[in-house]
Amino acid sequence: MNITALDVFEFAGTQTEERTSAKTNAVNSMLARVTDMIETWLGRNIEPKLTTALKIHDGRYCDIRGRKIYLNDRYYDIASITTLKEDDVTLTENTNFVITKPNIIERIDNVWSQGEQLNIELTGYFGMGTLDGTEGTPPPALEEIILETVAVLSGVWGKVVSDGEGNPYEVLRSGLPRFTQDALKAYKQIPVL
């Protein structure tokens, strides 16, 4: 992910003198934790990640209905499939199958074999956002949600206010704005059958 502690400080308006190495380390640590928490809650990868030799069958990471495989869990968002095997036979995209975004793989002129469990094997990149070669980038709106969440949880998002007598003090934001919470909920996986 391309988000850094500096991005969080810039977003939160943290002054240069407040950007200590301890705060930077805390923010960097929080970035990884928040990303993992959000991915776990969503049940989706925030950015495309490589998965190799994933064995699937109906009921394990997917639902198979005739010609269509409906991927779910962390494999819901297909960024790219590099290899697809069925019964140890390598299939070719646009000849044997097509990918229908975000999570459907459809066989061409055939149905998926369900003779054996775990007979379909996938290698590819799965997650939201875009894929540039082997590097994944999350959707910009999710990057913003991560920035806000890290800024709140690490205690760097606040503003200086006056007590009315000319004495400034800092008020830290203690929660995410409702709009941000609703935006995050919009990414929650909804099965498509």
pLDDT reading at 78 higher than 70: yes
Q: What is the pLDDT of residues 157-176, one digit of tens each?
A: 876 667 778 777 666 777 88
The chain-wide mean pLDDT, for the chain, equals 88
Q: What is the pLDDT of residues 79-128, one digit of tens each?
A: 999 999 999 999 999 999 999 978 999 999 899 987 678 899 999 999 99
| pLDDT reported for residue 193 | 46
pLDDT reading at 192 higher than 60: no
More confident residue, 4 or 157: 4
pLDDT reading at 145 higher than 90: yes
Residues 6+ apart with CB under 8 A from 122: 51, 53, 54, 56, 75, 81, 83, 84
